[in-house]
Structure 1
Amino acid sequence: MIDVYIDGASAGDPGPSGAGVFINFKNGNVENHSIPLGEMSNHEAEYEALIIALDLCIERGVNMVSFRTDSKLIDDAIEKRYVKNKRFQPYLEKAIARIEQFDLFFIKWVPSNQNKQADSLARKAIREN
């Protein structure tokens, strides 16, 4: 099981946005991904970070993952498989379709101070826009 930390950030609402993904393979290998996302809201950036991280894991053939996010919105949406704001429904559907490809998938909300690496990567991506 690998650990994946995700974060989305936006400089404005909407504004230049970025996704940060930190993957710890627990064998001494780690990956840092900083992906510029263009103009979008912070919530959209959080969803994009989730989907990008899921795709990265699938591309690497990983089948057991434990995700961490400091976004209650993302954690709640995945746990309940429901979004209150229908604008985010397509994001949720994309994420669930990917999640179903894993043998084991966990997601856990963590405080921001436990997600600093992904946050730093997301903020770096904003600057790269």
Structure 2
Amino acid sequence: MIEVYVDGASAGNPGPSGAGVFIKAEGSVIKSALPLGMLSNHEAEFEALIHALSICKENQYRTLSIRTDSQLVSSAVDRRYVKNKVYLPYLSRCLELVDQFDLCFIKWIPSSKNKMADELARKAIQQNEQ
């Protein structure tokens, strides 16, 4: 099973945002820091998951265990529902990708257990400003 850690971050809410993805896969590691432009923190969290799922799809991974420190994202994907309609397009895209994998679990973890993805997301924020 592929271990995927995702985090989105914003410098302001909304503000310059970034996605951090850290993937442990079959003896290798993939790190990605993606600048996202101006988004809210929750939007950045969803974008981070979308980015991670896209990377996994490109690499033809079939079984994923995803960890996020966003309770909103983890519960929205788990329940396949989001109350705030602003996030509906993000959730729809996430579910469209999730459904392409044989197995895909998502689990909330505390921020202290998501440091690598957090560092990558913060690095991505700074790439917006260059």
Q: Is TM (by shorter chain) over 0.5?
A: yes
RMSD: 0.6
Matched residue SS, 1:62: coil
Q: How does 1:98-117 map to 2 (within 5 A)?
A: 98-117=97-116
Query: What TM-score do you get using the length of structure 2 for normalisation?
Result: 0.97
Matched residue SS, 2:21: strand
Instruction: List runs of 5+ in structure 2 lacking aligned partners.
Output: none
The match for 1:47 is 46
Cα offsets for 1:70-102 (capped at 9, x unmatched): 000001101111101000001111010110000
Task: Give the ranges of 4+ consecutive aligned residues of structure 1 lying more than 3 Å apart after TM superposition.
Answer: none
Task: In structure 2, give the amino acid aligned to 1:30.
Answer: V
The match for 2:7 is 7
The match for 1:73 is 72
Task: In structure 1, give the amino acid aligned to 2:70.
Answer: S
**Structure 1 residue 28 displacement after superposition:** 2.6
Query: What TM-score do you get using the length of structure 1 for normalisation?
Result: 0.98
The match for 1:23 is 23
Percent identical pairs in the alignment equals: 59
The match for 1:92 is 91
Task: Number of aligned residue pairs: give it.
Answer: 128
Matched residue SS, 1:84: coil
